[in-house]
Amino acid sequence: MTDSIPAPLVEVLLPGAQSSLQDLGRKGYQSLGIAEAGAMDTYSLVLANRLLNNPDGAACLEITLMGPKLRFLRDVFFALAGADLSANLAGRLLLPGTVHEAKKGDVLAFGARRKGMRGYLAVPGGFYARPVLGSLSTYIYAGFGGLQGRALIKGDRLSGRADPKPQLKLEELPAGLTLPADGPRLLRVIMGPHEERFSKAGIEAFLGGAYEVTSHSNRMGYRLKGPRIEHLDGPIVVSEATPLGAVQVPGGGHPVLLLRERGVTGGYTKIACIITPDIDLIGQTTFGGEIRFKAVDLAQAHQAERERWQAMNAWRPAAETKV
């Protein structure tokens, strides 16, 4: 027995560069060759959901760099978080970290990028899609999940999972929770698992150099250019699992950051792994952006993750998920 599709909330007039439904990803299937996909900036997705009292993992529209043009088909509340892509509703400029009310027929459009790379649009209850392996996320490079396994196209219609006009206070995120301005990103890493396969000079180059995000970057991974990282015993290891946030170093010596839709196994050396809170920073780093690395230990990584969720929970605890 299949569930019926709710009435549509939004019609896509223009799709933008890459707009797709994402949630917190499908966990636990890497052994089957399936990466988790999900939001490139999970923190911003959760913030958008909490603005509407949604469950943290409700599906949002992830909007990349150049946003879509959307017509609302019903009166509805919506929230924006993450990148500032010059959103405007019926000609009125909207800032990320805010809740707004759209009337039937209103058009939401996006303009020039002002900061960040990816914005998140949430509606009450989250957007509707049929789950695949427990997630609504679009796995673009595998072609499943979300809306027919792809980014939005002109003419798509999106539905919500709840009353579009719940009892809700229109409010803003505290300033400390909004996305920081563009600038050099310092990514904290735990060294390994193949640290011993790099020379001392190679490790010093990795931790001391500035790297630039190239245009050959996407949801699978970010390719960087900068100081060459020297191997001791060559770049090839026995093929093994590739964790989210691994810093892979192929033979050319330039790092590749493995992200949400990475290949789940690989045989190149991995010099380090980016800690969980800083993976979200990558998703907001634009082409040409500067990245540096800093080594931390596991205790520091755990503390950084606790602190960011404590800050969010101090503003608004997670909503209870109804089963």
pLDDT digits (tens, 9 = 90+) for 91-120: 899 999 999 999 999 999 999 999 999 999
**Least-confidence region, from 25-29, 249-253, 318-322:** 318-322
Strand order in the sheet with 69-72: 92-93, 88-89, 107-109, 69-72, 8-14, 157-159
* Cis amide leading into 193 (omega within 30): yes
Give the pLDDT mean for 17-33. Answer: 96
pLDDT-based confidence at 167, cuts 50/70/90? Answer: confident
Look at residue 254 and tell me whether its pLDDT is greater than 50: yes
Average pLDDT over residues 10-25: 97
Pairing assessment for the beta strands 185-191 and 290-295 based on DSSP bridges: parallel
pLDDT tens digits along 63-72:
999 999 999 9
pLDDT in tens, 133-156: 999 999 999 999 999 999 999 999
Q: Sorting pLDDT into bands at 50, 70 and 90, what band is 171?
A: confident
* pLDDT score, position 255: 98
Reported as a pLDDT band with limits 50, 70 and 90, residue 1 is very low
Q: What is the DSSP letter of 198?
A: B
Domain ranges (residues) in the chain: 8-179, 185-311
Which residues, 6+ apart, have CB-to-CB distance to 31 below 8 Å? Answer: none
323: pLDDT strictly greater than 70:
no
Is pTM, for the whole model, over 0.75? yes
CATH 2.40.100.10 fits 185-311, yes or no: yes
Residue 321: the pLDDT is 58
Q: Give residue 83's pLDDT band: very low, low, confident or very high (50, 70, 90).
A: very high
Confidence at residue 259, expressed as pLDDT on a 0 to 100 scale:
98
Taking alpha carbons only, the member of 152, 111, 133 closest to residue 35 is 133
Q: Which of 14, 264, 245, 15 is nearest to 142 (CA)?
A: 264
Q: Are 119 and 142 in contact (CB under 8 A)?
A: no
Helix (H, G, I), strand (E, B) or coil at 218: coil
Over the chain, what is the mean pLDDT? 95
* Residue 200 phi, psi dihedral angles, 5° rounding: -60, -40
Give the integer Cα–Cα distance in Å for 317 and 51. Answer: 11
Residue 166 in contact with residue 83, Cβ under 8 Å? no
Q: Is 2's pLDDT higher than 60?
A: no
Q: Strands 92-93 and 256-258, how do they pair?
A: unpaired
Please spell the DSSP secondary structure of 124-187, one letter per residue. TT-B----BTTB---BTTTTBSTBTTB---TT-EEEBSS-SS-S----B--GGGSPPPSS-EEE
